Amino acid sequence: MIIENCTTLLDFYSCEHFEFICFQSYFQLQQLKQIHAKPAIGWTSWYYYYTNISEKIIQDNLDAFINNNVPIEIFQIDDGWQKAVGDWLNFNDKFPNGLKNIVEKIKEKNIKAGLWLAPFACEQNSFIVKEKPHWILKDDKGKFLKIGFNPAWSYWFYALDFYLDEVRDYLKKVFHTILIEWNFDLVKLDFLYGTALIARNGKSRGQIMYEAMQFLRECVDDKMILGCGVPLLPANGTTEYCRIGPDIHLSWDFKLLKWARARERPSTLNAIHNTINRRHLSGKWFWNDPDVFILRKNKTTLSFEEKYSLLLANLLFGHLLFTSDNISEYDAKTLVLYKSIFPLMSIQDVQVNYSNEFYIINFRINDKYYLVLINTSDSAKMYKLPNNLFFDNVSQELVKGDKNIEIKKHTSKCLLTVGYSPFAIAGTSGHFFSGTEIENIFLTGNKVELEWTKGILNPVKVFVKVPESIFTYKKKFLRYI
């Protein structure tokens, strides 16, 4: 019997091998297309200003990057510019001149301009609720289908039915205006799950989500999409970047929602877990957006150790590195730390071991090897270092191995493996990943020449380990260059 018009609901792949080989084989079978975008560092307004943005705030933050000579690649305006969620062609009073002039100023600095919107959502105060209620999905009682609650908007917000021709025509006009007339390069599309909350038209929720993402890809054409609030599988092949975990929180965890067992709650802890454990998708389905990191000292209760752990996880496994900080407020030390993430480094040969809220991560960058320890638990952990010599990039000190060290709660360490060879780079101070500032080392007799990596922003101090016999006195130490 021949069955026509078959639909594959689930397609399983089973593999028993080393983890990276299993994922490599899985992705090869999918015959994935190359992602035309690249990993990027940028800024978004959300986690500092939330909806309280204005033309002046946006301009001031753009100026901060220019004045500090920080070459970010994407500058994204988040929620707060529109008249209401759903009213994407109308600006609120804080943007009396619209966005076109702002985009021109961003692009003048060779930075790509991004804009947030939620194309399948509308809030109570939108023109859609007032004038186009038939655009809104209804529940089984005929009432507007609620997809979320936000007191910063007009409380409940609702889902649009993108299968309606009127809705599709409206959204095509919205995207044409944003991407062609205003000339944005990227759109962050949020709350996309809403249009697929109920099955309809003889289609499953999964099929609806897939078709909705195909529709958005068609609307955006060759500009870039940052997907958010979307199941990951339909974002494969339709987005350049995609959020792969929950929102961070301005504290380690959202205790009230944790107590209520809210799995998708805003949480820095959960964001770190998702960033590490969904690392395999990045560069295959899309580039992973782990959500922002925070370095500022105000408007957050995160300790330095917690902020460092978040930044470390993002640098290791995220490929859209955003902050929302106003970097003009950084003190000198914080600005140096921020600049140390430039340029992004390619992480290779990753091995991750996890047990009891403790990560042990080994990787390399070019010819340099690193050991990362991340303690996400609420108590200190003891770890016995391998028998080796390491450089701690925070304390800028050598650490001898073959001994137990304490990793306090919510704390991480990133250690460069120095080794016991007679001559070695024993550490550097310019980049987050110590040693990566040096592209090549040339030794000629007693002369050492260094070839620097392009794109390093900070001054670099280099620590060199040399044989004891070089010195006339009997003392083994580090020498500054």
CA 470 to chain CA mean position, Å:
46
Classified as helix, coil or strand, 204 is coil
Q: What is the mean pLDDT of residues 407-433?
A: 91
Q: Are 347 and 372 in contact (CB under 8 A)?
A: no
Residues 243 and 165 reside in one and the same domain: yes
Domain that residue 145 falls in: 31-344
Is 21 within the bounds of a domain?
no
Q: What is the mean pLDDT of residues 425-444?
A: 91
Residues 370 and 320 reside in one and the same domain: no
Domain closes at, from 305, 329, 344: 344
Label residue 473 by pLDDT band (50, 70, 90). Answer: very low
- At 470 the pLDDT is 57
Residues 333 and 357 reside in one and the same domain: no
Question: Does residue 477 have a pLDDT over 80?
Answer: no
Average pLDDT, the chain: 93
Domain closes at, from 319, 344, 369: 344
Sheet holding 121-123, edge to edge: 121-123, 155-159, 146-150
Is 2 within the bounds of a domain?
no
For residue 157, CA distances in Å to 52, 89, 128, 152, 312 come to 19, 18, 11, 11, 35
Is 195 within the bounds of a domain?
yes
Helices (H), 221-301: 232-235, 255-259, 268-277
Question: Does residue 480 have a pLDDT over 60?
Answer: no
Residues 77 and 195 reside in one and the same domain: yes
Q: What is the mean pLDDT of residues 110-120?
A: 98
CATH, residue 358: 2.60.40.1180
Is 4 within the bounds of a domain?
no
- At 2 the pLDDT is 64
**How far is Cα 435 from Cα 329, in angstroms, rounded to an integer?**
28
Is 296 within the bounds of a domain?
yes
Structural domains counted in the chain? 2
Q: What is the mean pLDDT of residues 334-359?
A: 97
Kindly report the pTM of this predicted structure: 0.93
Is 8 within the bounds of a domain?
no
- At 10 the pLDDT is 78
**How far is Cα 224 from Cα 108, in angstroms, rounded to an integer?**
19
Residues 232 and 276 reside in one and the same domain: yes
Structure tokens at 341: 């993430």
**How far is Cα 40 from Cα 453, in angstroms, rounded to an integer?**
18
468 DSSP 8-state letter: G
- At 253 the pLDDT is 94
Domain closes at, from 344, 367, 382: 344
